[in-house]
Amino acid sequence: MKYLASCLALVLLATPTMAQSIGEKTGINSTFGITPATEDFVKQAAISDMFEIQSSQLAQERGNAAEKSFAVTMIKDHEKTTRDLKSMVSGGELKATLPTELDSVHQSKIDKLKSLKGADFSSRYNIDQVSGHKDAVSLFERYAKGGDHPKLKEWADGMLPTLRHHLEMAQNMAAGKTVGKH
């Protein structure tokens, strides 16, 4: 029994340490409130942008009027954040590698959206938008609070009002409320 208790104690003590080495996409860092490494932050921010743009392009084709309106804002705003990140990397201010395609999790979400129409599409798009923006707000909050790259940290903090507004818009859209522009 003492052996089991000792092993459990070691696992519990090691969990935060292990969580720091697990990639950001797992969500463990978010659960523990761990600041993402700069490379992980850049990668996840870029993937989030790609997903928002691609899913919103589908919404412009398949969505209802509210989703189409929301999608216009998502594409415009996430294209801007993509340009911001690319500018920091290409300008040499930030040493990071930008992904050129979605990770498997986000690609499967896009593939699922592509297979849906009508109310099924709307339901999935709304769920994905609320979930994606909750994740983005968490990611940006954690980096803005504890990131190690001053300019990127400032940028993340500056993006938070927009991301929080996107989340509010997505939640309103999912609840069937009118979605306003910002």
What number of other Cβ atoms are within 10 A of residue 182's Cβ?
10
Give burial (CB, 10 Å; 0-12/13-18/19+) of 168: middle
- Phi/psi-derived region of residue 140, left when phi > 0, alpha when psi is between -120 and 50, beta in every other case: alpha
Q: Domain ranges in the chain? A: 35-174
Of all helices (H) and strands (E), which one includes residue 90? Answer: helix 65-90
Share of the chain residues as helix, strand and coil, in percent rounded to the nearest 5: 80, 0, 20
Residue that has been written with the tokens 């309106």 in this structure: 69
Residue ranges of the chain with per-residue pLDDT less than 70: 1-31, 178-182
Integer Cα distance of 59 and 170 in angstroms? 13
pLDDT at 1: 57
pLDDT at 23: 52
pLDDT at 5: 47
pLDDT at 177: 78
Contact 67, 85 (CB under 8 A): no
pLDDT at 93: 87
Give burial (CB, 10 Å; 0-12/13-18/19+) of 140: buried
pLDDT at 32: 72
Question: pTM for the complete prediction?
Answer: 0.82
Superfamily in which the 35-174 domain is placed by CATH: Ferritin, core subunit, four-helix bundle (1.20.1260.10)
pLDDT at 20: 38
